[in-house]
Structure 1
Amino acid sequence: MKPINIKKKYSKFDKQWHPHQIATVDDMQVLLAKISGSFVWHSHKDEDELFYVQKGVLEMRFRESGNPENVWSEIVNQGEIIVVPKGVEHCPTTKDGEEVHLLLFEKTSTAHTGEVSHEKTQTSYPKI
């Protein structure tokens, strides 16, 4: 039961799109991630995800299930959160190569890229 210094935790890793676990709360996990560029389109059938932007600006893209032409996005600024409801297809993105720091809150059962297998997919998260 000690405080967690999030800035110090970010200094422990450089790899992008590879979340690191800093805590668990019941069946939820608290993750830190550094991202740049665009991720992979995916959804989580049974889990919501919370994204808190610690540094930078996140563009969260969404698309309508069954209609991949219908794409829209929300800008999430530093200090803001966005919750992606279960089943909603999304693609986190950053602008112009900017590195964004995220704090994620999700169930421990949440697969990194849902049912999508991709080179960026991670199957385990280091604990730091």
Structure 2
Amino acid sequence: MMSGAISLKDKLAQFQDHWSPKRIAQVNDFDVKIVKFEGEFTWHKHDDEDELFLVIEGEMTIQYQDREDVTLKAGELHVIPKGVLHCPIAKSECSVLLLEKSGVVNTGDAEQSDLTNAVEDI
């Protein structure tokens, strides 16, 4: 991990894949990750962890089954409470910063699939 300033723009330029989180820093027991979204993810929940989504570029929606969906634009964030079923979706490419407890699997309680990705450090 870097000890100086971290450029989100530079880090985002290092990869093109979607739904594959990249760890750019750690804060105590939490990972700071960036990820590119495009299309629809999988419905899932995290039983023991909240998730923070901060949109860097683009627009995304967090779909819920039991409440109103939340649409986020660049510069906006949303926290998904632990245990809440949700599904991120982006009609076009969207770059997002995530803050999650270290070790969290991106697909949560959903069955592992091609969307289940281990976190890479960049």
> How many equivalent pairs are there?
119
Residue of structure 1 in register with 2:95 after alignment = 101
The Cα RMSD (Å) is 1.0
Unaligned ranges ≥5, structure 1: 65-70
The residue type paired with residue 12 of structure 1 is Q
Q: Deviations over 1:51-81 (max 9, x none)?
A: 00000111110113xxxxxx63111111000
- 1-structure distance, mates of 2:113, 2:85: 15
Residue of structure 1 in register with 2:116 after alignment = 121
The residue type paired with residue 30 of structure 2 is M
- 2-structure distance, mates of 1:86, 1:25: 19
Shift of 1:103: 0.4
Matched position secondary structure for 1:8: helix
Instruction: Work out which of the residue numbers 8, 19, 22 in structure 2 matches 1:20.
Output: 22
Residue of structure 1 in register with 2:48 after alignment = 46
Unaligned ranges ≥5, structure 2: none
Matched position secondary structure for 1:109: coil
The residue type paired with residue 71 of structure 2 is I
Matched, 1:73 2:73: no
Indicate the percent of aligned positions where both proteins have the same amino acid.
Answer: 38
Shift of 1:107: 0.2
The residue type paired with residue 89 of structure 1 is L
Output the TM-score relative to the length of structure 1: 0.89
Query: Which of structure 1's runs of 4+ aligned residues deviate more than 3 A?
Result: none
Matched, 1:85 2:81: yes
Output the TM-score relative to the length of structure 2: 0.93
Shift of 1:115: 1.8
